[in-house]
Amino acid sequence: MRLLGIFLVLGVLGCHREAEPGSSRANPTTAVHSKAPSPPPAPQAPLPGDSSYEYRLPAVPHWVAIGDLHGDFEATRAVFRLAGATDDKDHWRGGDLVVIQTGDQLDRGDGERSILDFLERLSAEAELAHGKLVVLNGNHETMNALGDFRYVTEGALHAFDDLLPSSPLAARYPGPLEGRARAFLPGGAMAIRLARRKVVVQVGDTLFAHAGVRAPHLDYGLDRLNRETSEWLVGKTSTPPRLVVDDEGPLWTRVYGSPELSSESCSVLERALARLGAKRMVVGHTVQKSISNGCDGKVIRIDVGMSAYYGGAQVMALDYKNGELRPLVGPR
């Protein structure tokens, strides 16, 4: 399937390179199946920009985390059924279950529109059932908002052409990319939808981000990062927050994806978790052979290459129930 090259709107992502299929597949470390340890310390004084702790959601007895989807609607349907969130007709059946999807629904597959519409509908159904679907933005969502359409497939190129409102920046993309630009550049219909999401969220004692939070990110402020990303996506500001495009930012860093994590990486992670009063961090972004953990279980990697682009033959999710963590594995 041919991918479409394009110049960037803002020229800020030129240094980012996505891994080829299989090239960044990390080997699993310790299997994830553990009883949660004692409660973590309370968070320290509010972080800069985080006086209201808006990035934090209450602890719940049961949540399931789902990694990268990359345009594969069939894998998306299968993993939500595996999680116990949906029935065989793709409607919410999870009751008060909380599901966190850690970003990268876009690119590399033709089913993007179906995935985004499915997630939008399911979020509303979950709320009615007193559950919750939390969908985060990943680097591929923000790449599209920046006009980086390198990984858009031909089958998905025109899937959003009918949407309004249109981004005022779309005129920069005449020709076949114009419809995509109208939808995803800041102020467009899909960018406005993405603006309702967070980049980082903490549910109880677990922090979720697409690629991972490092201790220096906390000096910027997680509420500030979420707020400024939303303001940029709706077109209120002209440029994204620097952490959105930073190679070592929460959407891009590979520091937690390596098969063997250095003591320095673990130290950075532990400092971040201590400041947040969290026990662990759950991330996607770097493809693993299976759900794996590092730093004595303080980081759990859940991007297992479920999409057809990566040859995913099965789907996996991370299940937390009454203090116990375990991987869920099922067929596509």
pLDDT tens figures, 86-136: 999 999 999 999 999 999 999 999 999 999 999 999 999 999 999 999 999
Decide if 211 contacts 286 (C-beta within 8 A).
Answer: yes
**pLDDT-derived band of residue 50, with 50, 70 and 90 as boundaries?**
low
pLDDT digits (tens, 9 = 90+) for 177-206: 999 999 999 999 999 999 999 999 999 999
Secondary structure of 264-294 as H, E, C letters:
HHHHHHHHHHHHHCCCEEEECCCCECCCEEE
**Cα 211-282-80 angle, rounded to 5 deg:** 100
Q: Would you name the residues annotated as active-site residues?
A: 140
The contacts of residue 140 (CB under 8 Å, 6+ apart) are 70, 103, 104, 105, 106, 107, 108, 151
Which residue ranges make up each domain of the chain? 40-140+192-331
Mean pLDDT calculated for residue range 317-321: 98
**Whether residue 226 has pLDDT greater than 60:** yes
* Burial profile 258-282: b = 16 or more Cβ within 10 angstroms, e = fewer: beebeeebbebbeebbebbbbbbbb
Q: Which two tokens stand for residue 150?
A: 């390198």
Return the CA Rg of the chain: 18
**What's the CA gap between 187 and 30, in Å, rounded?**
43
Q: Residue 314 pLDDT more than 80? A: yes
Helix (H/G/I), strand (E/B), else coil: 310 = helix
Classify domain 40-140+192-331 at the CATH topology level. Answer: Purple Acid Phosphatase; chain A, domain 2 (3.60.21)
User: Could you tell me if 189 and 160 are in contact, meaning their C-beta atoms sit under 8 angstroms apart?
Assistant: yes
Residue 106 pLDDT: 98
Is 1 a residue whose pLDDT tops 50?
no
Find tokens 């969220």 and name the residue. 201
Per-residue pLDDT tens digits for 7-46: 334 444 444 656 544 444 334 344 565 554 445 555 545 5
